[in-house]
Structures are given as C-alpha cells and as structure tokens.
Structure 1
Amino acid sequence: MLLLVSGASSVGKTTARLHARQLLDDTYENAELSTLGPIPAVQTVAWRQERVEVAVRRAIALEAEGRHLLLAGDPVPLGEALAAPSADRIDIAACLLDLSDEAHLARLARRGEPSHANQAFAAWLRAHAHDPGHLPEAVTNDSWPEMRWDRWVGRSPGPEWAMTVLDTSSLGPEEVGQAVAEWCRRAVAGEAPVFPAGWFAEVREGR
C-alpha cells in the first residue's frame, strides 16, 4: 500500500514521518520525494508529479514483499497520487495534516515563509480532501503529460472520495508522529479510508 501524508508547508509532514518511522516495524518503508532520486535546480509541478510516479512504483515493488511505503514530507495532494500512471495497480490511503489558520500563521512566521500562498494552498487541500471537483486546475495546470486526471477530475463528492484528516494544531511533534503511525496501521488493516487499486473503474461501473 502507498500511505501518503499530505499537507501544506509547515504543518509537520517531515517531522511526522521521522517520528512515525520509529514506531512502525520494518514492513513500512518511509520516503519523501528527495530520497527517490536527484533533486533538480528548479522543482516544477511536472517534476513533482513524475517523482510521485516513482514513489507509486516503489510502493508496488514493496507490496510484492508484503511491505508498504509511507510517503511524507512534500506537498503532494491526494489527486496527484491517484492520477499517477501506475496508481491503478496499488491501494492508496491518504492522510491530510491540517492546522488552524492561527497556528499555521505562527509556524510560517517562525520559518520566514510567505503566509498568503501557503494558507491558500492549505485551504485548497482542505477542500480537496472532501470534494474532487474543487478547483482541480490547482494541480492539473502545467502538469506532467502522463498524469491520468480522467480518473477523478469532474467527479462530485461521494463516499468513495475519502481521506483521513488530522488537526495537528495542538499536537507536539511526537504526538503527530504517533497519530500518523496509528493511521498507517489502521489503513493497512482496512480501518481507515483507502482507495483500492482500480477504484475509479469500479465507481464508473456503479459497483
């Protein structure tokens, strides 16, 4: 299974991954895009999406060994993972790390990052978690040509579109890592929302 931890800048994705890996056994491999290949000088949307496909293929290889890939640390939306060319061959679960606007502003200020763009992206991710039809051009514009946006662009909200959302506003780094580790276990056990391989075909056929 591919276990995607998504979220805007400064919500704690990398920190959560580092803490979670200490709590998970060796059936879980963890990665971020920078660990899956060289980083170009200019990181475009198309580059990010192509690297997500690399992550998906790694998850497929791990699945053959009875293992899973935890991908966290980068602002990868759920829709990008689902649209990766090989994503129809692997179960995918996604967890959005979210913050209150006040907490997010404080973290961005501490890191010296711009607030407007990052909070706008956080708001989009929040809406995307529940509605695949909300401004899909946020990820489809200037995208990698191999992406399969037809799997979800144009869909209305429905029970098949679901991910876990964790509000980390009042949680410390270790608590977030513990929550992410627990989410990983629940997703693998079928106790958290999961997009099964080929889910979009089943939805089209009304299953």
Structure 2
Amino acid sequence: MLLLVSGASGVGKTTARLHARHLFERRHLDGAYETAELFTLGPIPAVPTVAWRQEQVEAAVRRAIALEAEGRHLLFAGDPVPVGEALAAPSADRIDIAACLLDVDEDAHLARLAKRNEPEELIPLHRGFATWLRAHATDPGHVPEAVTTDAWPEMRWGRWVGRAPGPEWAMTVVDTSRLLPEQVGAEVVDWCGRAVAGDAPVFRAGWFRR
C-alpha cells in the first residue's frame, strides 16, 4: 500500500515521517514499512517544477508497488503532494492508496511559517494552498487547476477530475495545531496501521472504474 501524508508547508509532514520511522523501529515494524519523500527518490533540480514533482510521485507509486510484492508498505511524507496527484500517477491503478492530510488552524500555521522565516510575500500562497488542500480532501471538483496546470503529460487526471463529492472520495484528516512533533508521528503511525487493516479510508486499486 502507498500511504501518503499530505499537507501544506509547515504542518509537520517531514517531522511526522522522521518520528514515524523511529516509532516503526521501536515497535519492530520497520520491516513492514519503508519511508520516503521526494529527496530520497532522486536528486532535486535547481528549479523544481510541478511536472518534475508529479514524475517523482510516479516513482513513489512504483516503489510502493515493488514493496507490496514483498508484503511491505511505503509511507510517503514530507512534501506538499495532494492525494489527487498520487491518484493520477500513471501506475496508481495498480496499488491501494491511503491518504492522510495534516492540517493546522490559521494561528498555528502563521506561527510555524514565521518560525521558519518564510518570506512575507509567500505567506498568502501557503495559506491558500492549505485552504485548497482542506477542500480537496472532501471535494475532487474543487479547483483541480491547482494541480493540473503545467502538469506532467503522463498524469491520468480523468480518474477524478469532474467527479462530484461522494463516499468513494475520502481521506483521514489530522489537526496538528496543538500536537507535539512526537505526537504527530504517533498519529501517523497509528493511521498507517488502521489503513492497512482497512479501518481508515483507502482508495483501492482501480477504484475509479467502479
């Protein structure tokens, strides 16, 4: 299974991946899960583009497929990859995909961005993307142009673009506003277990044909 942790900048995706990796080791689950983010899948170009990111998402999907053949799962976390990009990756129809959106309230988000010294002119963009991701979690028809513009030509947007909200479009949302980093990691690890067990929303392979 591909376990995607999504979210805007500053919500705790990379922190969640690092703490989750340690928890997998402590709970002797590291044999069942591998963790990755874009930089672990290949070199990052000097000027990353939307198309490059989407090609790397396909690389993550293919890695998850390879791991599944070994009875293992891939936790892909650390980058602002929406679930719609993962589902539209060319090979995504060959594997189950579960998605978890890490979200924060406005005050917490602004505080984290300030701590990271984000340029003032980029703050509205980060806030706008967080708002879009929140809507995208429940409505595939909400401004799909946010990810389909300047896209990698191989993406299969027809799997979900134009769909209305429905029970088949679902993901887990975790509010990290008041959580410590290790608590976010624990939430993600627990979500992984629920998704693998079928107790959390999962996009089953080929779900869009049903």
The DSSP-based 3-state class of the residue aligned with 2:5 is strand
Alignment of 1:68 with 2:76, yes or no, is no
| Aligned-partner SS, 2:101 | strand
String of CA shifts for 1:119-160, please: whole Å, max 9, x gaps: 000000000000000000000000000000000000000000
- 1:21-75: per-residue Cα shift (whole Å, max 9, x none)? 1122121000001100111111000000000000000000000000000000000
Match of 2:9 in 1: 9
| 50-59 vs 112-121, which moves further | 112-121
CA-CA distance at 1:81 after TM superposition: 0.1
Q: Which of the residues 20, 23, 45 maps onto 2:50?
A: 45
User: In structure 2, what is the equivalent of residue 205 of structure 1?
Assistant: none
Q: Determine which of 188, 199, 209 is the counterpart of 1:191.
A: 199
In structure 1, distance between residues paired with 2:138 and 2:150: 23
TM-score (norm 1): 0.97
Q: Displaced runs of 4+ in structure 1, greater than 4 A?
A: none
Deviations 1:137-195 (A, max 9, x none): 00000000000000000000000000000000000000000000000000000000000
- Choose from 179, 184, 200 the match for 1:171: 179
CA RMSD between the two structures: 0.5
Tell me the TM-score normalized by structure 2: 0.95
Question: Which amino acid letter does the alignment assign opposite residue 23 of structure 2?
Answer: L
Query: Match of 2:141?
Result: 133
Counterpart residue identity of residue 117, structure 1: L
Find the counterpart in structure 2 of residue 143 from structure 1.
Answer: 151
Q: Which runs of 5+ in 1 are unaligned?
A: 203-207
Aligned to 2:84: 79
Residues 1:112 and 2:117 aligned together? yes
Q: Which runs of 5+ in 2 are unaligned?
A: none
Tell me the equivalent position of 1:30. 35
Three-state SS of the structure 2 residue aligned to 1:22 is helix
2:62 to 53, 57, 60: 57
Percent identity, aligned pairs only? 77
Q: 2:95 aligns with which of 72, 90, 111?
A: 90
Whether 2:209 is the aligned partner of 1:201: answer yes
- State the alpha-carbon separation in 2 of the partners of residues 99 and 51 from structure 1: 26
CA distance in 1, matches of 2:162, 2:102: 25
Q: CA deviation at 1:99?
A: 0.1
